[in-house]
Structure 1
Amino acid sequence: MSHSVIDSRSSFWQVLAPLAAAFGAMLSITLGASLAKSLFPSVGPAGTTVLRLGIAALMLSLAFRIWRLRPTLRQWRAIVPYALSLSLMNLLFYMAISRIPLGSALAIEFVGPLTVALLGSRRRIDFIWIGLAVIGLLLILPLSGTARVIDPVGAVLALAAGVCWGLYIVTGRRAGQAMGASTPAFGMAIGALVVMPFGWAQAGSGLLDPNILWLAVAVAVLSSAVPYTLEMYALRRLPPHRFGILTSGEPVVGALVGWICLAESLPPSQWLGIAAIIAASVGTTLAARRG
């Protein structure tokens, strides 16, 4: 085999691998969310949140050996807001998908980071992306009297999770600068403690049921360990704007996973709403790159 053929295959894999990693992270996250819904009848959304964060925190703590670290007061001030936004984001999102389809919840939640991106810009073109996002929300949240009215409480919970996602981005950057790679381990450990009272009130000793724990481990792996690893791989090899465009497709992946795994079908209007929010996210990402 000639060197040119080997080099072409190598370069093709170098391009394909990070794209596959980014898509794999999205697929893993949405599969983890669909599996988490199977735990809701047993331990509820709050109990599922406790198990996911607690198990993921244990995995990351062992990986980063956080017991060897001694954060300063300044570092704690950066970590705690990050942990609070992380825990509330997960809790509110699980509460949302207990009421509304996975794809719709992801699309509504996506408004959070989209707002953070838009707040950092002052260009006229950004009003187009704001308008698209608003149109998308109106399509996902049909007015009363239509054939497929989405649960209003679930929609509000998804929107609140999006607000926490926006705060998570802002506080995560500060915490990451203060603590480095061990930040998620500290954040998930504190986050698990924050939601523990809600989880225990909802599930009690059911949180310790062995039949529940093995499913919770799978949720933690799919929702935290696998996507975190794949995203770090992709981020090191892709320009930020390309990674942002790829992750904009997460609501579509979530809608497809919800349809296949949970039999959650969406009407055409809600598919259009998801597409509008994705278009707004892609437009914002490209505009930020040009800026």
Structure 2
Amino acid sequence: MPLSRIKQSDSLLAVLALIGSMASLCIGTSFAKSLFASIGAQGTTALRVSFAAVILICVWRPWRFPLSGKNARAIALYGAALGGTNLLFYMSLRTIPLGLAIAIEFTGPLAVAVLSSRRAIDFLWIGCAVTGLILLLPLGEAATHLDPVGIGFALAAGVGWALYIVFGQMAGNAHGGQATSLGMTMAALVALPFGLGHAGLEMFSPALLLSGLAVGILSSAIPYSLEMVALKRLPRRTFGILLSLEPAMGALAGLAFLNEQLTPIQWVAIAAIIVASIGCTATSKSKR
């Protein structure tokens, strides 16, 4: 087979893997939201990250790799940010639609990208993101009637995602599998007290444990695995542009599985934030 055909095949596989990753994450999150009535967002978060941690520990067996004190501290911060982000994001889902929560959360990594660049064109992407957020705020005659507390949780999740990126870069010297598995374990330690405090022993009923395992697989194990496939075959810029479509996929998943109807203004807001994310990624400086 010609080399060009092989590269095209690899690229197609990578694109399909990334689309599958986003689809699995959105479907898993939609299913997770259905558990809120039983154990709340706190209990659902605790089950998700705990099962994800167990799966990743079994896959990577992090004890096989050396771990310095410096890397251990960085992984602990990375995991704490991961756990906090998951908890805050699920708390936002109690009162606002999935697609909007993802879009608002996206402003966190977008802010990191823009602040690390400070070029003139980035103000255009800042304007798009701010426009999207303003359209979602419950202000004036064009108010979307979203819960302000839910919006606040989503914005806080965005801050958590930004910290996750910063701390993840600090943990970059450790083995990737070790950092991911130990980081998820730390995330579970952060989320479990909140889950137990809200849901108590109800979390450990067989039916909910099975549901939590399904959420962990769909929302963490499968997406992370497919993202690894995509990252190895796609330029980072292409990967980031495609990942920017996740809010739209979340909105479609919310519509299909949760019957979450969005207003035209909310769709425009999602589009503005997606444009900001794609634009920031496409105009960023990259070696690939």
Q: Which TM-score bucket, shorter chain as reference? A: over 0.9
Find the aligned partners of 2:188 and 2:216 in 1 and give their Cα distance.
12
State the shift of 1:144 in Å.
5.1
Q: Verify: 1:268 aligned to 2:259, yes or no.
A: no
1:77 to 42, 64, 73: 73
In 2, are the aligned partners of 1:132 and 1:279 still within 8 Å (CA)?
yes
Matches within 5 A, 1:246-265: 246-265=242-261
One-letter amino acid matched to 1:194: V
State the shift of 1:13 in Å.
2.6
Residue 288 of structure 1 aligns to a residue whose secondary structure is coil
Q: Report what 2:101 is aligned to.
A: 105
State the shift of 1:91 in Å.
0.1
State the shift of 1:9 in Å.
6.2
Q: Report what 2:44 is aligned to.
A: 48
Q: Report what 1:174 is aligned to.
A: 170
Q: Report what 1:26 is aligned to.
A: 22
Residue 289 of structure 1 aligns to a residue whose secondary structure is coil
In 2, are the aligned partners of 1:75 and 1:179 still within 8 Å (CA)?
no
State the shift of 1:140 in Å.
2.0
Matches within 5 A, 1:1-291: 10-69=6-65, 71-143=67-139, 146=142, 148-289=144-285
Residue 202 of structure 2 aligns to a residue whose secondary structure is helix
Q: Which moved more, 1:57-66 or 1:260-269?
A: 57-66
Residue 132 of structure 1 aligns to a residue whose secondary structure is helix
In 1, are the aligned partners of 2:52 and 2:217 still within 8 Å (CA)?
yes
State the shift of 1:98 in Å.
1.0
One-letter amino acid matched to 2:180: P
Question: Any stretches of 5+ residues in structure 1 without a counterpart?
Answer: none
Describe the superposition over 1:152-196 as per-residue Cα deviations: whole angstroms up to 9, x where unpaired. 000000000000000001101111323432111101111111221
TM-score (normalised: structure 1): 0.94
After superposing on structure 2, the runs of 4+ consecutive aligned residues of structure 1 that deviate more than 3 Å are: 7-12, 67-70, 144-148
Find the aligned partners of 1:185 and 1:97 in 2 and give their Cα distance.
25
State the shift of 1:8 in Å.
7.5
Pair 1:208–1:70, CA change in 2 (3 A): farther
Find the aligned partners of 2:8 and 2:172 in 1 and give their Cα distance.
33
One-letter amino acid matched to 1:48: T
In 2, are the aligned partners of 1:46 and 1:198 still within 8 Å (CA)?
yes
TM-score (normalised: structure 2): 0.95
In 1, are the aligned partners of 2:144 and 2:266 still within 8 Å (CA)?
no
Find the aligned partners of 1:157 and 1:164 in 2 and give their Cα distance.
10
Find the aligned partners of 2:152 and 2:247 in 1 and give their Cα distance.
17
Residue 260 of structure 2 aligns to a residue whose secondary structure is coil
State the shift of 1:77 in Å.
1.4
Find the aligned partners of 1:82 and 1:210 in 2 and give their Cα distance.
31
Q: Which moved more, 1:69-78 or 1:242-251?
A: 69-78
Percent identity of paired positions between Structure 1 and Structure 2: 51
Residue 283 of structure 2 aligns to a residue whose secondary structure is helix
One-letter amino acid matched to 1:252: A
Q: Which moved more, 1:11-20 or 1:36-45?
A: 11-20
In 1, are the aligned partners of 2:136 and 2:144 still within 8 Å (CA)?
no
In 2, are the aligned partners of 1:78 and 1:178 still within 8 Å (CA)?
no
Find the aligned partners of 1:133 and 1:55 in 2 and give their Cα distance.
34
State the shift of 1:67 in Å.
3.8
State the shift of 1:147 in Å.
6.2
State the shift of 1:96 in Å.
0.3
Question: Any stretches of 5+ residues in structure 2 without a counterpart?
Answer: none
